[in-house]
Structure 1
């Protein structure tokens, strides 16, 4: 059962992420073509990130109260009406609002996802389970932009939205049929002792990532003179390498621990995001790939592992939700700030500021370098009935 949960979540996430990432990476350019300016793109992404963040705590509380599976199915069921709305809406503000609403409902499942993986990983180990999940998730975010680069130039975005409807229905059926609720555990937790420095560090890091995340495709088009097809292929190469690196990240985090993995990812993200803005051609492809590996491979695996090491089962989803709502709000503030800085100070300033903040974000974690070891768990006999 345990391995099946990890496999089902990973495979269905791959399929859904292909559908979303085929257009998501150039959503800022899509909004521009619908009439939004750069500042309005930043505000739109800020709204999307706020919606995602606000869903995390209720998602965690509902998961700990009603179980992981029911919240995952609830969120997955909202993808179909979202893709239908994307077929119908052609105004940038309406599209931004639709994406924000979808982001809220999609975000409800995030604490349940992380918790179910952590609680279904006895055979793999927590870090390796997150590594496998991130491998397929990032592979989806690699295949999607490649698919988008082939379809969008000739046929536009609508075929990708139709694909999203079909994929969402299929994955909803698979998750309903194959996922099983993990057994409850009796555990001790030291999460409260490390909550404050961990929250500070993650929030500062996500503020920096929020500053530049919606600006990367715009910078690539306006200053690197990449075409839409080249931008999609840049993201394809970055996500493909990130996917491959996720397996290695799982093994690395098993050795050094989640907190040290986070510190390494923060410093690496700052260095590679800074170098990227001064690169051109193939160097830009390589450096954005290294930035993505640090951000979406090492950081994601380390984050899931660290929270799993520091929380008990009955509070784990709430802990994931609490951390993610605060870091999500920081990311949202960064997206708003990045768009304003671009308009006021020029395109390089947001990237220079973000890279500096990333390098500083590891400081609060240094006090936790000797992390608390993972709690010992025993399965409650009553949970197996």
Structure 2
């Protein structure tokens, strides 16, 4: 699979690459944050139609998220999101999304930097570029999709354009999800009070109770299978409910850095992640899950393809496929702590929020400078302050035992 990263010029125009001199393309366009089941249904349809028609299966990924880009522009006099801006609300990094697309059989991924100049282009102009420059014969979209300036290119408008021009077909995918739900328009992370996987706050409410809850929380309607709903669930510690929508455990990725090494001193060495991680960090607490070593940060890189000015790479596959596979020697059950280390924060004065996976293995792991993939399988309990180190060690052993039980230790 090849990836091409593109940035529009100041006028919003894109120097599109030539994807094939002989084959047409079946395409879809979106952010695909989290790569949930709805996203996967759309991309599977792209791959299916491409195989049927001997075409290329192409996915265009918008980066940054349009919601972030427009919010940032509104607050900064129309400026674009800086390249080094950390999007803490993104469920997954672009590379995490591309990894799933590769596994689904996509041929080419176009990662398009979303700018305000590009956003101002009409959907008609944009689709004309897709047909004329990228050889698009079929466009696959979910039924709630919308493209172009002011999101004017909804499915109805695009279907009318398709029928009027006859140069491309629109294939609309019902994402097969269970319908709609409600989430608060604005919410902050909320730590569960009780131990064990928390209950979705909307679960079990009668229609009257749900109506009252939605008014009380100033809610908006979203698809059950949506990035927004996953984000809300993770902010409540409901990682298993989130996994039901994603079709896989939610994960973050980051570099292992030196911490206080207190865990090593008490017999529970943790892999402290750097402050900046890829993926949405769930609410503070202790989780059961997995730690996967993806190798040194400066290790295997994407292979450059071609010698033109367009940044095209061949996605590196050999390492991460082996490392992330079930039963891999680089994959361990892990008890994962997220928070500010309340047992020692008064003593140290350090109150930074950190992610600390403790890999449950008899081997001594030296992961400094490595990138790791951390998956969340279940919420164990909120972080609490223990009276001393001995009490903490008993709790850590309990977390390890619960993790092995929940993950099967495989």
Into which bin does the TM-score normalised by the smaller protein fall?
under 0.3
Bigger relative contact order, structure 1 or 2 (CA pairs below 8 A, ≥6 apart)? 1
Identify the structure with the greater strand proportion.
2
User: Could you state the TM-score of these two structures normalised by the residue count of structure 1?
Assistant: 0.24
Higher helix share: 1
- State the TM-score, normalized to the length of structure 2: 0.23
